[in-house]
């Protein structure tokens, strides 16, 4: 089986614990080094991981045992850290979005190709049984030809619960670049790439008030749109209506719904790995819940990195840099469309990632990859 694949983690904020819960005990990888601007936080994290050491970012990028850098920094630092890791000859798997701007993203992908290293990017939630079961149903023809979809995310804003929410309202943040990658990545898995978009956006307030933690009551500026909506034209012909908002309270809409000629699918929240997929057939008796048919069972954050490590020329990484770049293109095009009041054609495209066969937890948690299997379609 060989030695475990060495991982170095840069950025030990809120989301890092979710990754560590998966990676720290997985036999395929070994977390060998961690780094953070807050040295105390890095040492505290290293103390919970057998064999890991807290080091500087520079030391981590050149650590002889680090093969892949897990970039969990804030969006504004994604391009800098990923670029430095590539220049050091390391693979990179990063949190979403890939970068803040499309030119930065294109540069990262180009530099990785030139250096011969791999790039992967969150979200990996779409590799779970929720999105993958919905994809299997669509691919089997269960709802006939897909015609349209809706994707809706409405919350009152992350400042209510996050102790340091500044980056959510700075360039690279906002509801679209923060939460949009979950929904748009799922939509590409379900319906394929996008060729053009039409967008509209607004900003309800100039400042937000932190609602928890040591900075409780502090006001932070809002520099980005906080309500973004638009239409995605998929290359296959389907149209998706997308809404992402940090201005509303809640919604009763399905996170994602796909309408076809012969039926409709209600798809669970793509910010989660699992959830019920519901189907309503034309002239059917009513909604029914589909049993899990595809995806990593009981998956958790970090499965996308495991998937990247196991990928090869025959089966590229599913949470890939190419997909993340296309998602970034879609999001930045929506914002550009909103600003300019016109339809915007995309400059990138991507192949739909390979579907995930139904993979029990004991298989994806093991050191050996599961044997390829065909997932049932009904």
Give the count of alpha carbons within 13 A of 236, CB side only. 19
**What CA–CA distance (Å, rounded) separates 53 from 43?**
8
Bridge-based pairing state of the strands 53-54 and 29-35? parallel
Q: Which helix (DSSP H) or strand (DSSP E) does residue 307 occupy?
A: helix 303-310
**N- to C-terminal Cα distance for the chain?**
35
- Answer whether 0.85 is exceeded by the pTM: yes
DSSP code at position 116:
T
Q: What is the pLDDT of residue 25?
A: 87
How many CB atoms are located within 10 Å of the residue 345 CB? 10
Taking each helix axis from N to C end, the angle separating 303-310 and 16-23, rounded to the nearest 10 degrees, works out to 50
* pLDDT at residue 144, rounded to an integer: 98
Please give the pLDDT value at position 313: 85
Q: To which residue do tokens 């309202």 refer?
A: 169
CA nearest 156: which of 251, 261, 59? Answer: 251
CA dist 98 and 121 (Å) reads 6
CB 277 within 8 A of CB 289: yes
What tens-digit pLDDT sequence spans the chain (378 residues)?
Answer: 468 999 999 999 989 999 999 999 899 999 999 999 999 999 999 999 999 999 999 999 999 999 999 999 999 999 999 999 999 999 999 999 999 999 999 999 999 999 999 999 999 999 999 999 999 999 999 999 999 999 999 999 999 999 999 999 998 899 999 999 999 999 999 999 999 999 999 999 999 999 999 999 999 999 999 999 999 999 999 999 999 999 999 999 999 999 999 999 999 999 999 999 999 999 989 999 999 999 999 999 999 999 999 998 889 999 999 999 999 999 999 999 999 999 999 999 999 999 999 999 999 998 765 545 443 333
- Residue 10 and residue 41: Cα distance in Å, rounded? 11
- Residue 363 has what pLDDT? 92
- For tokens 């589909």, what's the residue? 290
Question: What distance in Å separates the CA atoms of residue 33 and residue 60, rounded to the nearest whole number?
Answer: 6
- The pLDDT, as a whole number, for residue 78 is 97
Output the CA–CA distances (angstroms, integers) from residue 133 to 57, 129, 137, in the order listed.
Answer: 39, 5, 6
Q: In this predicted structure, what is the pLDDT of residue 375?
A: 38
Question: According to the model, what pLDDT value does residue 34 have?
Answer: 98
> How many CB atoms sit inside 10 A of residue 220's CB?
18
- C-alpha 282/C-alpha 132 separation (Å) is 22
pLDDT in the model for residue 314: 87
- pLDDT score of 370: 52
Which pLDDT value is given to residue 374? 40
- Own/partner contacts of 104-113, CB < 8 Å, gap of 24 or more, are 104/78, 104/79, 105/79, 105/324, 105/325, 105/328, 105/329, 106/325, 107/79, 107/83, 108/79, 108/82, 108/83, 108/321, 109/321, 109/322, 109/325, 111/83, 111/86, 111/87, 112/86, 112/321
Strands 219-221 and 91-94: unpaired
Cα separation, 360 vs 341, whole angstroms: 47
Q: Note whether 99 and 121 are within 8 A (CB).
A: no
């Amino acid at each position: 089986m060989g030695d475990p694949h060495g991982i170095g983690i840069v950025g030990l904020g809120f989301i890092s614990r979710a990754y560590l819960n998966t990676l720290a005990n997985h036999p395929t990888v070994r977390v060998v080094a961690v780094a953070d601007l807050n040295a105390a936080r890095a040492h505290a994290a290293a103390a919970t991981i057998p064999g890991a050491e807290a080091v500087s970012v520079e030391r981590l990028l050149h650590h002889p045992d680090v093969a892949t850098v897990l970039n969990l920094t804030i969006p504004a630092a994604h391009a800098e850290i990923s670029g430095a890791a590539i220049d050091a000859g390391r693979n990179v798997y990063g949190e979403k979005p890939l970068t803040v701007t499309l030119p930065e993203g294109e540069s990262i992908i180009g530099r990785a190709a030139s250096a011969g290293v791999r790039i992967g990017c969150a979200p990996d939630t779409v590799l779970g049984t929720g999105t993958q079961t919905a994809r299997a149903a669509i691919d089997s023809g269960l709802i006939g030809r897909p015609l349209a979809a809706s994707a809706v995310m409405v919350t009152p804003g992350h400042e209510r619960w996050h102790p340091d929410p500044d980056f959510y309202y700075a360039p690279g943040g906002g509801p679209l670049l923060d939460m949009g990658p979950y929904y748009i990545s799922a939509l590409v898995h379900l319906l394929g790439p996008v060729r053009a978009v039409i967008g509209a956006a607004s900003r309800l307030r100039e400042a937000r008030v932190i609602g928890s933690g040591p900075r409780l009551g502090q006001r932070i500026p809002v520099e980005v749109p906080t309500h973004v909506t638009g239409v995605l034209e998929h290359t296959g012909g389907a149209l998706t209506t997308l809404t992402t908002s940090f201005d509303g309270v809640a919604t009763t809409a399905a996170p994602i719904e796909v309408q076809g000629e012969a039926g409709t699918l209600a798809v669970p929240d793509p910010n989660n790995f699992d959830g019920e997929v519901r189907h309503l057939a034309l002239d059917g008796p009513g909604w029914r819940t589909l049993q899990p048919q595809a995806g990593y069972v009981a998956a958790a954050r970090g499965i996308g990195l495991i998937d990247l490590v196991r990928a090869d020329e025959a089966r590229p990484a599913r949470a890939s840099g190419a997909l993340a770049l296309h998602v970034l293109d879609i999001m930045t095009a929506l914002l550009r469309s909103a600003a300019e009041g016109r339809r915007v054609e995309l400059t990138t495209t991507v192949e739909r990632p390979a579907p995930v066969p139904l993979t029990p937890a004991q298989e994806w948690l093991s050191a050996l990859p599961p044997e390829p299997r065909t997932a049932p379609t009904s």
